Structure 1
Amino acid sequence: MIIQLCYTSKKTSNDESILKDLRDILTEARDFNTRHEIHGVLYYADDYFFQCLEGEEKHILMLLEKLKKDPRHNEIVLLKTGALKETNFSDWSMKYVGRNSKIQNYFKSLGHYRFAPNQLNEQSLDAFLSFLYDGQPSMA
């Protein structure tokens, strides 16, 4: 069964090493995800990571256990887990979306002046994901 798992976590590294950590995370994720047919997206801003992963349930759950042990982040909050009919990131082993004004403005519209993925509810998470899928918010 193909599932989608979205989570957020807080960085543990200092500001000087975050760029190296992001490069390392993306390199490791792209390698692991390619080998396990996992697709997804990573967004980082204001000390928080947001990641959405899609793939076979057993591989996603194996990756989640690996992520829980990664010392580069803590305060993992699972935001969404569920079955998928089709993947949204099929062209990406791990898409990286850089900090941008559309996402910053979206979080401001929710009343957050910083990126606060741990404050997303089901509806606001789906709208946020639409930015990551194709750069446009979903109004559904």
Structure 2
Amino acid sequence: MTKKWLVWLRLVKNMKVRYCYFGLVSRQENETLVDKLRFIYEVVSKYNHKYNVSGVFYYANQSFFHCIEGNKNTVDKLVKYLATSDKITEINKIEEIEIQNHHYIDWTMKHAKGYKNRGKNFY
């Protein structure tokens, strides 16, 4: 490999990103919503401690919003793993941007109340 190629690989490897997306927690009869949320919490918490991943995960009923920060390769692997785990579906990316520093100190999961308007829930 050329020297320029090696420099580029090092830059990409160390690039930090913020990746935000939303979707639904999947519905399956063999697992409860709590089981799926526990799985997500345990997986991302391990990444948080091992790879310095931070961010937030908000959920209301089946809907969720996830914003995660960290090394690009790590974030990509984590999002791909969650997407193929059958715990979440209908993933819609909002943004993926390069960052210099983490905005979030840690990773947290929170329940958000749904907004009710004229008898319908909007999230």
Report the TM range for the smaller structure's normalisation: 0.7 to 0.9
Question: Residue 86 of structure 1: which of 83, 101, 108 is its match?
Answer: 101
Kindly name which structure, 1 or 2, has the bigger radius of gyration based on alpha carbons.
Answer: 2
What is the number of residues matched between the two proteins? Answer: 106
Higher helix share: 1
C-alpha spacing 1:14/1:65, structure 2 compared with 1 (3 Å): closer
- The alpha-carbon deviation at position 14 of structure 1 amounts to 4.8
Q: Provide Cα deviations, 1:111-131, integer angstroms capped at 9, x if missing partner.
A: x8411xxxxxxxxxxxxxxxx
Q: Output the TM-score relative to the length of structure 2.
A: 0.74
Higher relative contact order (CA 8 A, sep 6+): 2
Question: Residue 27 of structure 2: which of 4, 7, 13 is its match?
Answer: 13
Q: Output the TM-score relative to the length of structure 1.
A: 0.66
- The alpha-carbon deviation at position 32 of structure 1 amounts to 2.1
8 Å CA contact 2:40–2:82 kept in 1: the answer is: no
Identity of aligned residues (%): 21
Are 1:114 and 2:119 an aligned pair?
A: no
Question: Residue 99 of structure 1: which of 112, 116, 119 is its match?
Answer: 112
Question: RMSD of the alignment, in Å?
Answer: 2.2
- The alpha-carbon deviation at position 20 of structure 1 amounts to 2.1
Give the 4+ runs in structure 1 shifted more than 4 A: none
Distance in structure 2 (CA, Å) of the matches to 1:113 and 1:25? 24
Q: Which residue does the alignment assign to 1:22?
A: 37
8 Å CA contact 1:46–1:114 kept in 2: the answer is: no
Unmatched tracts of structure 1, length 5 or more: 116-140
Q: Which residue does the alignment assign to 2:9?
A: none
Q: Which residue does the alignment assign to 1:62?
A: 77
